[in-house]
Amino acid sequence: MKAAAISINGLSYSSFADCNPKFLLNLFSSTYRGVVENRDSFEPLKVWKLILKNATFEQLLSKGVLFSNIPITNPTYGRPSTDMFKVSLREELELMLSTINDYSDKYIVLFSINAYERDLKNKKNVCEELSLVDNYLKAAFEAVNNYMFFSPYGFNGTSYEPYGIYISSIPRPSEEETIKLDQILDIVLSLKI
């Protein structure tokens, strides 16, 4: 069973409405979906410490999770990692796919896409960026059996939203509740079941 959890920091359902990403909207209509709610912070360091519950790379590897490109250090934390100020979105997405191809038969790959939010801060076009992400998430979806695409908050280029996306092959913990950051790791761990 191959599994991957991909975070696209800053991706929001608002951008779905603005840009109509074809693959993600199709998936949204046909699988489990929900909303990540984050009232804690929009700073990647704080957000990811909450998601990972301060676990180290080795601790999570022993539980079967390989985390990659986590934006809490630069170069990013995990294996593989990148220079998060220099890597392009396309390079990061390519790295996501190669990590899934190389490791997802042995580990649940937890990969963070960081360049999307960085590019939006640099005033790149939201819909062009999302179109690229959409294409690569389709490839990721096709490479695994279980998947989870999520974002810990939304960002539209000018302001942050406390809501992120959740689209997954498994249902969220509670139907009529948002998903909190400290629940994400448990969902990731259940992807392999």
Q: Among 113, 132, 148, 165, indicate the residue that binds other proteins (CB under 8 A).
A: 165
Q: Which residues contact 28 (CB under 8 A, 6 or more apart)?
A: 16, 167
127 binds other proteins (CB under 8 A): no
Tokens matching residue 119: 């590019």
Question: Which one of the spans 30-38, 57-65, 110-118, 124-132 is the region binding other proteins (CB under 8 A)?
Answer: 30-38
180 near other proteins (CB under 8 A): no
Cβ of residue 79: shortest distance to other proteins, in angstroms? 32
Smallest gap from Cβ 75 to other proteins, in A, equals 33
E strands present in the chain: 3-8, 32-37, 65-68, 108-113, 146-150, 154-155, 160-161, 163-168, 179-180
CA distances from 44 to 74, 137, 173 (A): 12, 21, 24
Q: Which residues bind other proteins (CB under 8 A)?
A: 12-14, 16-18, 28, 33-35, 37, 163, 165-166, 175-178
